[in-house]
Homo-oligomer: A and B are copies of this chain.
């Protein structure tokens, strides 16, 4: 398909769904609050709306359709279909969050039990499931850090947060939003966070260390205890971004390394679907000292009834409406229950095995390397570099990725800035088979071969995608960018 835009399919007078109408009188609206002309929404019959979106869906991939190992750091794993059935069930989907607690004991129990599972998995003392996603959980943790220091009268003094370059940018960005200055540690020559830089950075102004481990390079920081100790000695808190927890489930825990706070992305490690970019779900784990600051409400259990506790005077308050992205909490709960301790460890070990297997395959390809920590293993992902290939052929990593789309798959480079030149980040997780990994490596090998032997094929890709090469320039120019059809009509449309 090359499906047109919805707005081009309009047929005046058609409609997609009937709506209850009423004989009751419609009150007149106050002056200035009555809409004067109907919104220019398209008009289509139901089948035509459906067909449009079904065709668009076929112009998309996803974990279920392709060998989705190329979105490193994203932990693209299988989201079991059975877990979806629980959340489309009316006993979840049709619950109002303000219903009397007696009518929602089941969902409260699921939240409570999930907290319990994540407490054990992280070793922390309490876990809040309110944040809407990973970055929201990072923000919630930073907000708790701020409240903690404020409760000790150190809010003014501690105005710096330390993070590392290979931690997710949201660690830096959330700290900034919360009012902190951000100090970013660069990797040392082995790719580990530079401990000397940390020593130089910590001090009485340190509010917290925000750190991912293993980092987005797939490298585990073996001096993590010392990092935590240094931050603690300076009076700072330590907050563990566990976005990359998939390879270490049951192997090591936030508590074991001394962290005060941590967060998980339930849509990564705990299998809830990525949904084109959310809804996701985040979980914040904290040690006893931070419990008073957790977002409100918490779910409590008195041995017979579950209830929501909103009376939390020191709480940072609400992070989002109501109690979190409940459907994803249910899915994550079901997933963990289908795994158990042994299963989680099997997940971790298989993900790590898959990653190291894929790495061995990839490193056989001409022009690619895995910078840092030469000869050492990675945990569940690896950041590669096409620097050599680029030097040899002039082809960039992004171009390799675009050409991979012609083979029905794709990959992601890395966050900016590109510390690793011409980056590519792969994370095979436990969901893909050996044959999948072989096939994926073979695709990369073929594109690399093309880059050396028929570079024009790569340079002019894609050739078998829905669309052809984009003219990106217009996206940064206010005169031509078009975020909506309205804007497009105005700026670029030939009376469309």
Contact = CB atoms under 8 A, between A and B. Distances in A.
A435 interface: yes
Given A65-B55, A433-B14, A47 B1 contact: no
Contacts of A431: 45, 47
Interface string A419-450: 00000000000011111000000000000000
B51 A435 contact: no
A487 interface: no
A452 interface: no
Contacts of A51: 64-65
A360 interface: no
Contacts of A65: 51, 54-55, 58
Contact of A81 (B11, B50, B55, B63): B50
Contacts of A45: 431, 433
B64 A11 contact: no
A48 B81 contact: no
Contact of A54 (B50, B55, B64): B64
A46 interface: yes
Interface string A40-76: 0000011110110011001000011100000000000
A48 B66 CA distance: 10
A86 interface: no
A51 B54 CA distance: 17
Given A46-B80, A51-B65, A435 B11 contact: yes
A408 interface: yes
Nearest to A90: B89
B47 A78 contact: yes
Nearest to A338: B18
A433 B45 CA distance: 8
Contacts of A47: 63-64, 78, 431-432
A212 to B, nearest CB: 27
A408 B1 contact: yes
A66 to B, nearest CB: 8
Interface in A6-46: 9, 11, 14, 45-46
A78 B433 contact: no
Q: Which of A1, A58, A78, A432 has the most CB of B within 10 A?
A: A78
Nearest to A55: B65
A14 B65 CA distance: 19
Contacts of A432: 47
B11 A433 contact: yes
A9 B433 CA distance: 11
A9 B67 CA distance: 14
A47 B76 CA distance: 12
Contacts of A55: 65
A80 B58 CA distance: 20
A48 B11 contact: no
B50 A64 contact: yes
Contacts of A48: 433
Contacts of A433: 11, 14, 45, 48
Contact of A46 (B11, B14, B78, B408): B78
A440 to B, nearest CB: 14
Nearest to A17: B82
Contacts of A54: 64-65
A264 to B, nearest CB: 22
A65 to B, nearest CB: 6
Contacts of A14: 433
A65 B408 CA distance: 21
A62 to B, nearest CB: 9
A364 B399 CA distance: 48
Interface in A383-415: 408
Interface string A134-168: 00000000000000000000000000000000000
Pairs A-B, 6 closest by C-beta atoms: A47-B78, A47-B431, A54-B64, A50-B64, A58-B58, A51-B64
Given A9-B435, A14-B433, 5 more contacts: A45-B431, A46-B81, A47-B64, A47-B431, A51-B64
9 contacts: A1-B408, A11-B433, A45-B431, A46-B78, A47-B431, A50-B64, A50-B81, A55-B65, A58-B65
